[in-house]
Structure 1
Amino acid sequence: MTATPPSTPKADLHRYLQSARDALLWKLDGLSEYDARRPLTPSGTNLLGLVKHTATIELGYLGDTFGRPSGEPLPWVAEDAEVNADMWASADQSRDFVVGLYHRAWAHADATIEALPLDTVGKVPWWPSVKAEVTLHHAVVRVVADTQRHAGHADILRELIDGAVGMDRSNDNIPSGDASWWEAYRGRLERTAREAGQQSP
């Protein structure tokens, strides 16, 4: 039996980054164009917008920050762009366009991670100059954290749409139970919350 080769910090970071990317993107699977875009929170959070935003983040932190611009036109982050324009897809920005952009962002970010040592210093163009310098290690950790955060948002949004939940395609990471089990479970939590609410001063 051959031993598994030891991992490296760069490989670990990339593995968690790709896991977060995959978790976010597969939440679009099987949805209509409407459901992929519709806002499901008072602040307008929507699935396709999360993907568009996360693609933009990767191109910025793991591209421009290290002098490696992607060449992708990103008018939604221009100085004269509408507020929050990176958080939703306009009617002429198809799902294929947004997902394609995200895949190109992955490739560009991966090339940066592969090409540069983790201690390479870059400058975040949109940060104040006094604190704009970051290492590649810092930038990758930031992108992993941001992507995982939005994958969590996406998981909740997808559950609100059609009840589908789970961490990834191969592991939903939740207890098995039929609809009646989940209804009873949720009912128990509701009763507990009400009981605790009545006890609070």
Structure 2
Amino acid sequence: MSEEAKETLVRYLHAQQDALRWKLEGVSERDARMPMTPTGTNLLGLVKHVASVASEYFGHCIGRPFPEHLAWTDEDAEDNADMWAGPDESLESVLGLWDRVWAHADAGFAELPLNAPAHVPWWQQGDTTLHRLIVHMIAEVGRHAGHADIVREAIDGAAGLRDGVSNLPEQDAEWWAAYVERLRATAEAASD
């Protein structure tokens, strides 16, 4: 595979990373941690989870282990320990981890070709390539960035792809309220 293909994949991965990280900008420590769904989904947990997963896929799985031990990824760790920040972890510390993990990943991308062998012990067909891991992580990060979109909007109404790019129709609050009411009425009319 060409360097151009690798650059394209990494650019798409970075776009998803940036979108997810941006969802924490301007959020208080409390709001970043606040569980917003019945399963506890929260902004800081999403970022911690994605950083944890990336540290494995773009570390151990490609023969370049991430140099820090992440206790919440151990076999005997509490269930969902990677999906929330404990009392000893701050917004700043999780974002610092995020930055270190992605710097480590970027170093691997620069060093290895797309067809570099990789092994994912938890996949049924464990042997793979860096190419497939990048594609997998584009989907993984995009999925969680979508979760973060909804969680952030529920916290303070902030919506959009990134700073200055809402990716939504440019309408005022009155238009949005009427739009949501129309959707609500349509849903109610469809009820059995």
Where structure 2 has 5 or more consecutive residues not aligned to the other structure, the ranges are none
User: How far apart, in 1, do the equivalents of 2:164 and 2:121 lie?
Assistant: 38
What is the identity, as a one-letter code, of the residue corresponding to 1:40?
A: M
How big is the alpha-carbon RMSD for the aligned residues of Structure 1 and Structure 2?
A: 1.4
Are the counterparts in 2 of residues 10 and 118 from structure 1 also a CA contact under 8 Å? yes
Q: 1:11 aligns with which of 7, 13, 32?
A: 7
Q: 2:116 aligns with which of 98, 116, 120?
A: 120
User: How far apart, in 1, do the equivalents of 2:72 and 2:4 lie?
Assistant: 36
Are the counterparts in 2 of residues 58 and 105 from structure 1 also a CA contact under 8 Å? yes
User: How far apart, in 2, do the equivalents of 1:190 and 1:148 lie?
Assistant: 27
Name the structure 1 match of 2:79. 83
Name the structure 2 match of 1:163. 157
Find the residue that maps to 2:188 and give its secondary structure: helix
Deviation of the 1:126 alpha carbon:
3.2
Using the size of structure 2 for normalisation, the TM-score is: 0.96
Structure with bigger gyration radius: 1
Are the counterparts in 2 of residues 51 and 98 from structure 1 also a CA contact under 8 Å? yes
Using the size of structure 1 for normalisation, the TM-score is: 0.91
Structure 1 stretch 55-64 or stretch 119-128: which is displaced more?
119-128
Name the structure 2 match of 1:3. none
Name the structure 1 match of 2:21. 25
Deviation of the 1:122 alpha carbon:
1.1
User: How far apart, in 1, do the equivalents of 2:132 and 2:164 lie?
Assistant: 30
Where structure 1 has 5 or more consecutive residues not aligned to the other structure, the ranges are 1-6
What is the identity, as a one-letter code, of the residue corresponding to 1:105?
A: V
Q: Which runs of 4+ in 1 moved over 2 A?
A: 125-128
What percent identity do the matched residue pairs reach?
Answer: 53
Number of equivalent positions: 191
The reply on whether 1:108 has 2:116 as its aligned counterpart is: no
Deviation of the 1:193 alpha carbon:
1.2
Name the structure 2 match of 1:4. none
